[in-house]
Structure 1
Amino acid sequence: MAEWDGVAERGVYREQYQAELDRLSDAVHRGAWPAVLAAVAGPQLPATSSGLANARRIGGRSGWAPLHQAAWHDAPAEVVERLVAAGAWRTLRSTDGERPVDVAIRLGRDTLVPLLEPAPVHPVPEGVLRAVEHYLHALIRVRTEADRISSALLLPQVAVLTELPDAALWFPVPGMYGGFAVRLEDVGTAPRLTVKSHSRVVGGSGQTHHITPDGCVLVESGW
């Protein structure tokens, strides 16, 4: 299952791992593609999923991942193709709501636009994605506030699920000793999210929710 890295503030990760992320972010910012491609194709580091292909600068304001920077720098097509092959998400939005393809269109990177255009494995209307994401974020806030989680978090973007073959993400929450497993499912003609959340240090804390565009319903608890 792919993992959503929702850490939004420095000091959460170990110093060595934070330094690795900073080096990658610096290389991406400079457009040093050999170093970037070596990093995203390398062995997984702790607390990452999909390699480092979607890593953003911890504490940064833009929320840009490597594909956003590739569009900005007008990187060679091979670089974009290798980032996508390494697991980079074309639906990932920045803090300002831009996907990599939006950056490419805005800057006239015409050769990169077809490569950056999202190609969902599980197409879902944009309005449905926005609605279920609203309820997912509300659920996460309620659950984390109940556990007194004070860390700043970047909450999962539901559109990413449409790119993943298994349509599933794990969102580990620092300090919760657990997190949220989010899966996009087709129930007849109505897509929904099934969300399982728990804390390993609190017995019986497990809850399962179903989220549709109409709301969020608790369907199981106490596991």
Structure 2
Amino acid sequence: MARDRLSDAAHRGDWTGVLAAVEEAPNLINARRVGGRSGWAPLHQAAWHNAPIEVVERLLAAGAWRTLLSADGERPLDLATRLGREALLPLLEPAPLHPARESDLRALQHFLHALIRVRTEEFGVTAPLVLPQVSVLTELSDPALGFTVPGMYGGFSILLERGQDGPQLTVRSHCRIVGYSGRTHRITPDDCTVVESGW
């Protein structure tokens, strides 16, 4: 499996293997091993191994997320800071294109994860899921993510927007094999509301 090969190469600090795997499957640049304990993506491993600056620059150019949290809640920057990787700190410092307060992002993520769990249970999904992190949307020029769910025959599209009172998410979800299963939710730091259903 391509994800496991990438994770294995990053774990070993095999940057030639990592960069080749990312070139072959660019969508895996932020992949974490499903069921893995650390929740580290290649950029976390680069911080751990004190990878050459050129490697970190290439990972970032390929779309590695600086704000992605590990299972312990560490960004690559936090890991590099803890380990004294001074040369990497300027590269790993997050530079959000859509800044938002951390407390708002945490609240949005809380509601998003609850929504995903409820919707996937409706369709009998039992596979373990690595749920999306809202903070990474702040890094994207187009602050949108797709989250495909195995066994759901569909998934979620997640868009970060600026509402009247602060950041909000518009989340569309559906199952291709269940007619009119589509729903659109609006998530704010205060609540999650259905705004459209039956599409």
Q: TM-score, normalised by structure 2?
A: 0.97
TM-superposed deviation, 1:188: 3.2
Partner of 1:168: 144
Distance 2:28 2:151 in 1: 22
> RMSD across aligned C-alpha pairs, in angstroms?
1.1
Out of 149, 155, 159, the residue aligned to residue 179 of structure 1 is 155
Paired with 1:27 and 1:120, the residues of 2 have a C-alpha distance of 28
In the TM superposition, what whole-angstrom CA distance separates every residue of 1:104-134 from its partner, at most 9, and x where no partner exists? 0000001101101111111111000000111
**Structure 1 residue 206: Cα displacement:** 0.3
Q: Distance in 2 between matches of 1:166 and 1:215?
A: 24
CA distance in 2, matches of 1:129, 1:99: 15
Aligned partner of 1:30 among 1, 4, 12: 12
User: What is residue 109 of structure 1 aligned with on the other side?
Assistant: 85
Q: Is 2:184 the counterpart of 1:208?
A: yes
Check the 8 A contact 2:156/2:173 in 1, yes or no: yes
The corresponding residue for 1:69 is 45
Give CA-to-partner distance per residue, 1:39-78, whole Å, 9 cap, x none. 1122x3xxxxx52211222321111010000000001111
* Distance of 2:56 and 2:148 partners within structure 1: 28
2:131 is matched with 155
1:21 Cα offset (Å): 2.3
Q: 1 or 2, which has the higher helix percentage?
A: 2
Contact 1:41–1:51 (Cα < 8 Å) also in 2: no
Question: 1:72-120 CA distances to partner (integer Å, 9 max, x unpaired)?
Answer: 0001111101000001111111111111000000000011011011111
Partner of 1:12: none
Give me the identity figure in percent: 68
TM-score where L is the length of structure 1: 0.86
Residue in 2 that maps onto 1:138: 114
| Equivalent-residue separation in structure 1 for 2:142 and 2:14 (angstroms) | 32
Map residues 27-66 of structure 1 onto 2, 5 A cutoff.
27-42=9-24, 44=25, 50-66=26-42
Return the letter of the residue paired with 1:220: E
Point out which structure has higher relative CO (alpha carbons under 8 A, 6+ apart). Answer: 1
1:189 is displaced (CA, Å) by: 4.7
Aligned residue for 2:28, secondary structure, equals coil
Deviates more, 1:20-29 or 1:103-112: 20-29
SS at match of 1:218: strand
The residue that corresponds to 1:82 in the other structure is 58
Matches of 2:98 and 2:29, distance apart in 1: 21
Q: Can you give the 5+ residue segments of structure 2 that lack an aligned partner in the other structure?
A: none
- Larger mean Cα displacement after TM superposition, 195-204 or 56-65: 56-65
CA distance in 1, matches of 2:111, 2:125: 19
Asked if the contact 1:121–1:163 (Cα under 8 Å) also holds between the matched residues in 2, the reply is yes
C-alpha displacement of 1:138: 0.9
Number of equivalences: 199
